[in-house]
């Protein structure tokens, strides 16, 4: 039976470093993505995600399972991201959607995703539309105020419960729901043109996208 | 329920987290209110669009970099790790302890509980008692011996004056 995150962390506390490896494998991608959307810089997101894991490891001796592990970990991540944004420590570098969609699986070679796309026999037109849509979604999410952005990322992409997100952001559930509503209302207006586009794209590419 | 409640209920409704009674109330309001119905559908469609955002994969070096940073952290092992914050301090403290024991082994007189009788040690003892003799409290010895509290002590009252006379 798989151990819970809290149990894994308690095992790390008692000196079992292999449990830390399991937590690293489980949360590296969610953390990197969350931090990437927060600080809008891939290299900075990786650096901050590493810092989160380091702080989790450092705190193992004092760890008490008073809250969900993810709440605790994403609170560290959110604080680091907000501090980094306020410090201006990471100057934003524009990242193309190629990089964000393909990740680093090809060691950063930008030509590789295009070849993969050709291999997938997707038409250039459909691929260009997809890229353009992703870019607009990314810009809409990243243009939200910091706290609204964090709330949306934790709710929509990490699928956290309201009490968890409220715990991460340090606000009441009622305040969080209001925060989320404002954020989604902004996104609804911003992304309205893409909603119709999605219906057109669905007709072109067929079901299942 | 009215339009003012939509803000509080809409997201929970789309998440499927509204209790049944509240969900029915919300749906009844949507059936009657075109604006809230449109907003709800707009949220639902927008959420589907948000799903198109591609995920970023960590770089292949990510795990190794985390491990390297973690490896630089001090381990939690042994007695000294929770007493002193660094291995250097632990080494220094251990070395100091060993040195103290080694130095004290060359000064047996300090550790001796019973002084040897006769010889130079006797002279030292006499000098020390000479100093004690001048202390004012001893001048009031007669007063002290007359205390009721002292008379209750099991020690024989004649023992100490005799030893003082020997000085």
Going from N- to C-terminal start, the domains of chain B cover 3-50, 119-166
A122-143 mean pLDDT? 87
Question: Within 10 Å of residue A103's Cβ, how many Cβ atoms?
Answer: 20
Residue with tokens 């072109």: A204
A77-83 mean pLDDT? 95
Helix, strand, or coil (residue A78): helix
Contact at 8 Å (CB) between B73 and A59?
no
Measured CA to CA in angstroms, residue A31 lies from A24, A73, A144, A163 at distances of 10, 9, 19, 19
Q: Looking at the predicted structure, is the pLDDT value of residue B149 above 70?
A: no
Question: Within 10 Å of residue B56's Cβ, how many Cβ atoms?
Answer: 23
Report CB contact under 8 Å: A103, B63.
no
CA distance B79 to A40: 45
Report CB contact under 8 Å: B53, A138.
yes
Q: Which of residues 139-158 of A touch B (CB under 8 A)?
A: 141, 155-157
* Residue range(s) of every CATH 1.10.10.10 domain in chain A: 111-203
Report CB contact under 8 Å: B70, A57.
yes
Helix, strand, or coil (residue B60): coil
Q: With an 8 Å Cβ cutoff, is B46 touching chain A? A: yes
Q: Looking at the predicted structure, is the pLDDT value of residue A184 above 90?
A: yes
DSSP string, A112-129: HHHHHHHHTT--HHHHHH
Report CB contact under 8 Å: B42, A103.
no
More confident residue, B134 or A152: A152
pLDDT tens readout for residues B42-91: 999 999 999 998 888 999 999 999 999 998 887 655 444 455 456 677 67
- Token couple for B107: 């000064």
- Range scoring the smallest mean pLDDT among A12-21, A66-75, A123-132, B21-30: A123-132
pTM: 0.66
Count of CB pairs separated by less than 8 Å, A with B: 121
pLDDT tens readout for residues B19-31: 999 999 999 999 9
pLDDT band at A129; cut points 50, 70, 90: confident
Number of H helices, E strands in chain A: 11, 0
pLDDT of A131 reads: 87
Q: Looking at the predicted structure, is the pLDDT value of residue A171 above 90?
A: yes
CA distance A186 to A175: 17
Cα-Cα end-to-end distance for chain B: 105
pLDDT band at A130; cut points 50, 70, 90: confident
CATH number for the domain whose boundaries are A5-87: 1.10.1740.10
pLDDT of A183 reads: 97
Q: With an 8 Å Cβ cutoff, is A192 touching chain B? A: yes
Q: With an 8 Å Cβ cutoff, is A26 touching chain B? A: no
Closest C-alpha to A16, from B74, B75, B85, B83? B75
pLDDT band at A78; cut points 50, 70, 90: very high
Closest C-alpha to A23, from A14, A15, A33, A12? A12
Q: What is the ipTM, given to two decimal places?
A: 0.77
Q: Looking at the predicted structure, is the pLDDT value of residue A98 above 80?
A: no
Set of chain A residues whose Cβ sits within 8 Å of the Cβ of B59: 46, 103-104
A61-84 mean pLDDT? 91
CA distance A170 to A184: 20
CA distance A115 to A85: 35
A110-139 mean pLDDT? 74
Q: With an 8 Å Cβ cutoff, is B12 touching chain A? A: yes
CATH number for the domain whose boundaries are A111-203: 1.10.10.10
pLDDT of A90 reads: 65
Longest alpha-carbon distance in chain B:
116
Q: Which of residues 103-142 of A touch B (CB under 8 A)?
A: 103-105, 107, 130, 133-134, 137-138, 141
- Of the residues B11, B16, B45, B54, the best mutation for testing chain A's interface (the one with the most A CB atoms within 10 Å of its CB) is B54
Residue with tokens 């000294």: B80
């Amino acid at each position: 039976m798989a151990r819970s995150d809290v149990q894994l962390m308690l095992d790390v506390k008692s000196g079992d470093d292999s449990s830390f490896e399991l937590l690293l494998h489980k949360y590296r991608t969610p953390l990197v993505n969350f931090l990437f959307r927060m600080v809008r810089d891939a290299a900075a997101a990786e650096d901050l995600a590493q810092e989160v894991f380091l702080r989790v490891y450092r705190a193992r001796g004092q760890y008490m399972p008073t809250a969900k592990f993810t709440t605790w970990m994403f609170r560290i991540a959110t604080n680091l991201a907000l501090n980094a944004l306020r410090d201006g420590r990471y100057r934003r570098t524009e990242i193309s959607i190629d990089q964000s969609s393909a990740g680093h699986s090809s060691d950063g070679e930008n030509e590789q995703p295009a070849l993969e796309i050709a291999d997938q026999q997707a038409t250039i037109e459909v691929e260009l539309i997809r890229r353009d849509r992703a870019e607009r979604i990314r810009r809409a999410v990243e243009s939200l105020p910091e706290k609204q952005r964090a709330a949306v990322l934790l709710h929509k992409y990490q699928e956290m419960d309201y009490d968890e997100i409220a715990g991460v952001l340090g606000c009441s559930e009622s305040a969080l729901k209001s925060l989320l509503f404002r954020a989604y209302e902004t996104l609804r207006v911003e992304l309205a043109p893409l909603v119709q586009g999605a219906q057109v794209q669905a007709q072109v590419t067929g079901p299942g996208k | 329920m009215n339009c003012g409640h939509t803000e509080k209920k809409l997201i929970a409704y789309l998440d499927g987290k509204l209790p049944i009674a509240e969900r029915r109330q919300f749906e009844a309001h949507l059936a009657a209110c075109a604006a809230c119905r449109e907003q709800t559908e707009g949220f639902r469609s927008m959420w589907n669009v948000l799903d198109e955002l591609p995920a970023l994969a960590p770089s292949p070096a990510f795990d190794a970099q985390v491990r390297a940073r973690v490896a630089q952290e001090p381990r939690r092992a042994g007695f000294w790790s929770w007493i002193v914050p660094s291995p250097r301090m632990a080494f220094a403290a251990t070395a100091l302890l060993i040195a103290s024991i080694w130095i004290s082994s060359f000064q047996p007189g300090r550790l001796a509980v019973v002084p040897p009788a006769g010889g130079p040690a006797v002279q030292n003892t006499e000098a020390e008692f000479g100093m004690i003799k001048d202390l004012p409290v001893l001048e009031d010895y007669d007063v002290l011996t007359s205390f009721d509290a002292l008379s209750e002590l099991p020690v024989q009252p004649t023992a100490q004056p005799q030893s003082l006379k020997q000085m």
